[in-house]
Structure 1
Amino acid sequence: MARMTIKDIARESGYSSGTVSRVLNESGPVSEQAVRRIREVVDKYHFQLNTNAKFLKQQTPEGIALIIRGTNNLLFASLVEILQNQIEEAGYSASMHYIDESGNEVEEAQEICKHQPPEGIFFLGSTRQNFQKGFSGIDVPCVLVTNSAEDLGFDNVGSVTTNDTQAAQFAVQTLLSLGHRNIAVLGGDRTRSQAGMSRFLGAQYAFFDNSVPFDPARSYQQGMFSVEDGYEGMLSLLDRMPELTAVFVMADVMAIGALRAIRDRGLRVPEDISLLSFDGISLAQYTVPRIATMCQDQEELARESVRMLLDMIENKVPGSFRETSFRMQEGESLMPPVLEK
C-alpha cells in the first residue's frame, strides 16, 4: 500500500487538510470531535508524521479568504483587521480580496475557488441577487458578515449581522422624538446594497409609525458609501430640501462628507441641521462636531463570525443566522430644531 498522506487522512476523516495538520502538529485549536475522528484514522493506518513537522505544516496551508466589497468602507477596514487577528490566532492564514462596491462578490469567490479553494470564505458586503444567481457552484463554508444570509437556502452559508432595519428605525425615531419633521435620508443604492435597502426600510417604518410624510424622490439621496458621495449627496439634498432640519446618513464615512457639504453651504451642525449616522467607526468621534451614530459592535461581529466559520469547517455543521447588538453613541451633532424652516 502506498504511503498515507495528510490529504488521505483528511479524505477519510471528513476533515480538511489544515485541521488534520493542526491535530498532528498540535499547533492550534481543534474540536474534541475532530481530534477523536482524526486520531482514529491515524491509528487505523499507523500513520506517522514526517519528522520535519515545520516543513509539513508549510506544505498544507489552510487559508480563509475575505472578500471585501467596497474599497472606501472604514467599517470594513476595521472589521478586516479584527477578523485577520482572530483567524490567525485560530491557526489559519487569511487572504484579502477587495472588489469595487459595484462588483460581484460571488463571481470573485468563483475565481478564487477555481485556482485553490480556501477552507472557508468571509463576505463583507454582499447582495442577495448575486447569491441567488450564481452561488450554487461554491461548496466551501461561507459566512456573510454584516448582511443576512437567511432564506438564501444554502447549507454552506451562514451570517452574522446587526439588525440594520431596527437600528435605522431607531435612528429616525430619535430625530422625530427631538421634534424634527423635515428629515432627509442619505444612503446607499437600494438595488445593489443589502444594507442600503434594510436601512431604507427601517427609516420608512419610523416615518410611517409617526404619520410623517416621506417622499423618497425628494427626501432620499443614494450613492456609494464614500466621503465623496456623502458630500455630493448632501449638496443635492440641500438643493431639493432647503427646509430640512435633520438628516439620517446610512454610513459614518458618508456622514463625514455630509458634514463638509453642510459647512460649505454656510450652515452649522447641529444648530441648523442635526445629523445622525450609522456604523460607529472610531473616526466619527474625531470630527467637529462629533457625530452621533448607531454603533455596530465590531468585536462581537468578528468574534461570532469566526466562531461560526470554524464550526462549519471543523465540525461540518450548516451555516446559521445570528444577530449582534447595536447601540446609539451620543455625539455633538443632534439637537431639537430651533425653528422649522
Structure 2
Amino acid sequence: MNAVKPKGRVTRTDVARLANVSEASVSYVLNGTPNKVSEKTAARIRRAAEILDYRPSAFARALKIGSSQTFGVIVPDFSNPYFASLSDEIESAASEHDYSIIFATSHSDAATERICIEKLKNRNVDVIFTSSALSNEELASLDQQHCRLVFLDHPTATPDVKCVSTDFAKSIGMMTSHLFSHGHTNIALLYGGNNYTDPRIQGWHQAHQQAGLPVGPVVRSHFTREGGYRATLEMLDSSNRPTALFAASDLEALGALRALHERHVRIPEDMALVSFDGSIDTLYSYPQLTTMQQDTHNIARYAVQAALHPDSSPDVTLVEPTLTARQSCGCVSI
C-alpha cells in the first residue's frame, strides 16, 4: 500500500481512498464499532491511517461525544508563584481525566477577563476556571448557556456556579492571632484589592475584635512586589509605625522585605513580617517567611471534580490552609 501524503490535514476520506473502502467503514474501524467490518478490511484501514499519519479531528470528536475534553483556565498573573503552582496542579488533575487545558491571563483586569471568557467559549471548552477580577454582581451575571464556570479563590456562594477557595476569613484570622501571640498589638495589613467586603478584610476585623484590640490599618499594595515595597516604605515613615506587617500575598511580602532591608530594619527583632500563599519563594527569602500556605493540590482537585461532577459537588468548597511558622515572625531562630 503506497501513497503520497496529501497536503494539509489528512481526512477520513483520504484514508478511505487509500484503503479502497467507504468512509463509513473507516468510521466504524476508527471509532471501534464492533462487527461492522471484517478483520482483514479493518487491518487495511488501520494500515492506511498509519501510512497517512491520520489524526482524528478534535472538533469532530467533540461534536460526536458532546464534549471537547478541554478546560479553560484564567488567572490574574502567571508571574505570581501561587497562580503558577495552582495552574500546574489543575493541569495535572485534569490530565488524570484525559482533559487538556487552555490557559489565559486577565492581568487582574475585569474587561480583559470578559474577553478571555468569550475567547475560551469560542474554543468550545467544556468548563472555564477563573480566579476572577470581577465583582460578585458581575460574576453572577455571566452567561453560562454554552459553557459552565468554576470560580477559584472565591469563597462566597454565587448562583449556579461552583466555587472552590481557601477559607480566607478564617486564614487571615489565624495568622493575625499568631502575631498577637508574639505580643504584637499594632499590625498593618498589606492588601492588594479594593473590595473591603472581601473575606480577608472580614477576617482581619474579626481577629482584632475578638482580641479586644483596635483594628490595624489596611494599606493598598496591589498584590505585587512593587506594591508591597511602596506600601512598606509608607508604613515605615508613618507616625504610628507598626511592629508587624501581614502581607496578603507572597509577592507583596517580597516587596516588603526589600523595603525593610533597605531601611536596615531587622526582621523579626524590629518588625515581624508574615505572608499569605505559601509559594516556594517563601523558602528562599531572607529571613524565610512565616506564611499561611494555601493547598493548591486540593484546591485544583476539588475544582476539577466540581467541573466534572457538578451535581454531586457543593456550591462552595473551602480548603484548609496550613500556618507554616518560620523565621520572619520569630518562631525559628535565624
Q: What displacement does 1:141 show?
A: 2.1
Aligned partner of residue 237 in structure 2, secondary structure: helix
What is the match of residue 159 of structure 2?
153
> TM-score, structure 2 length as denominator?
0.76
Q: What displacement does 1:111 show?
A: 1.9
Report if aligned partners of 1:186, 1:222 keep a CA contact under 8 Å in 2: yes
Report if aligned partners of 1:295, 1:329 keep a CA contact under 8 Å in 2: yes
Q: Higher Cα Rg: structure 1 or 2?
A: 2
What is the match of residue 144 of structure 1?
151
1:162 and 1:203, CA in 2 relative to 1: closer, same or farther beyond 3 A?
Answer: same
Q: What displacement does 1:283 show?
A: 0.9
Report if aligned partners of 2:248, 2:276 keep a CA contact under 8 Å in 1: yes
Q: What displacement does 1:253 show?
A: 1.2
- Structure 2 distance, partners of 1:267, 1:144, is 39
1:280 and 1:143, CA in 2 relative to 1: closer, same or farther beyond 3 A?
Answer: same
Aligned partner of residue 101 in structure 2, secondary structure: strand
1:333 and 1:138, CA in 2 relative to 1: closer, same or farther beyond 3 A?
Answer: farther
Report if aligned partners of 1:73, 1:225 keep a CA contact under 8 Å in 2: no
User: 5 Å matches for 1:293-308?
Assistant: 293-308=291-306
- Please tell me whether residue 185 in structure 1 is matched to residue 192 in structure 2: no
What is the match of residue 256 of structure 2?
258
The amino acid that maps onto 1:153 is: P
Q: What displacement does 1:146 show?
A: 2.0
What is the match of residue 107 of structure 1?
114
Q: What displacement does 1:317 show?
A: 6.0
- Please tell me whether residue 87 in structure 1 is matched to residue 94 in structure 2: yes
Report if aligned partners of 2:105, 2:116 keep a CA contact under 8 Å in 1: no
User: Which of 120-129 and 231-240 deviates more?
Assistant: 120-129
Report if aligned partners of 1:105, 1:126 keep a CA contact under 8 Å in 2: no
What is the match of residue 282 of structure 2?
284
1:102 and 1:57, CA in 2 relative to 1: closer, same or farther beyond 3 A?
Answer: closer
1:25 and 1:275, CA in 2 relative to 1: closer, same or farther beyond 3 A?
Answer: farther
- Structure 1 distance, partners of 2:112, 2:308, is 21
- Please tell me whether residue 323 in structure 1 is matched to residue 318 in structure 2: yes
Q: What displacement does 1:110 show?
A: 4.2
Q: What displacement does 1:108 show?
A: 2.8
Q: What displacement does 1:56 show?
A: 2.8
- Please tell me whether residue 206 in structure 1 is matched to residue 213 in structure 2: no
What is the match of residue 104 of structure 2?
97
Kindly provide the CA deviation profile for residues 260-300 of structure 1, in whole angstroms up to 9, marking residues without a partner as x: 11111121110100111111101101111000001111111
Kindly provide the CA deviation profile for residues 68-108 of structure 1, in whole angstroms up to 9, marking residues without a partner as x: 12344220111111111222232111100111113346513
Report if aligned partners of 2:90, 2:304 keep a CA contact under 8 Å in 1: yes
- Structure 2 distance, partners of 1:182, 1:317, is 45
Q: What displacement does 1:62 show?
A: 3.0
Q: What displacement does 1:330 show?
A: 1.2
Report if aligned partners of 1:186, 1:247 keep a CA contact under 8 Å in 2: yes
Aligned partner of residue 309 in structure 2, secondary structure: helix
1:322 and 1:301, CA in 2 relative to 1: closer, same or farther beyond 3 A?
Answer: same
- Please tell me whether residue 175 in structure 1 is matched to residue 175 in structure 2: no
- Please tell me whether residue 239 in structure 1 is matched to residue 237 in structure 2: yes
Kindly provide the CA deviation profile for residues 50-80 of structure 1, in whole angstroms up to 9, marking residues without a partner as x: 9669633544353211011234422011111
User: 5 Å matches for 1:71-82?
Assistant: 71-82=78-89
Aligned partner of residue 268 in structure 2, secondary structure: coil
- Structure 2 distance, partners of 1:304, 1:57, is 30
> TM-score, structure 1 length as denominator?
0.74
Report if aligned partners of 2:165, 2:299 keep a CA contact under 8 Å in 1: yes
- Structure 1 distance, partners of 2:121, 2:93, is 26
Kindly provide the CA deviation profile for residues 115-160 of structure 1, in whole angstroms up to 9, marking residues without a partner as x: 233111111244323213x40355422211221351x212xx2011
Percent of paired sites with the same residue:
25
Uncovered stretches (5+) of structure 1, i.e. residues with no partner? 1-23, 27-41, 337-341
How many residues of Structure 1 are paired with residues of Structure 2 in the alignment?
283
What is the match of residue 62 of structure 1?
69
1:87 and 1:137, CA in 2 relative to 1: closer, same or farther beyond 3 A?
Answer: closer
- Structure 1 distance, partners of 2:125, 2:314, is 17
Uncovered stretches (5+) of structure 2, i.e. residues with no partner? 1-29, 37-41, 62-67
After superposition, the CA RMSD in angstroms is 2.9
1:283 and 1:159, CA in 2 relative to 1: closer, same or farther beyond 3 A?
Answer: same
- Structure 2 distance, partners of 1:238, 1:247, is 10
1:119 and 1:175, CA in 2 relative to 1: closer, same or farther beyond 3 A?
Answer: same
Q: What displacement does 1:214 show?
A: 2.0
Q: Which has the higher contact order (CA 8 A, sep 6+)?
A: 1
Aligned partner of residue 70 in structure 1, secondary structure: coil
1:234 and 1:295, CA in 2 relative to 1: closer, same or farther beyond 3 A?
Answer: same
Aligned partner of residue 240 in structure 1, secondary structure: coil
Report if aligned partners of 2:82, 2:279 keep a CA contact under 8 Å in 1: yes
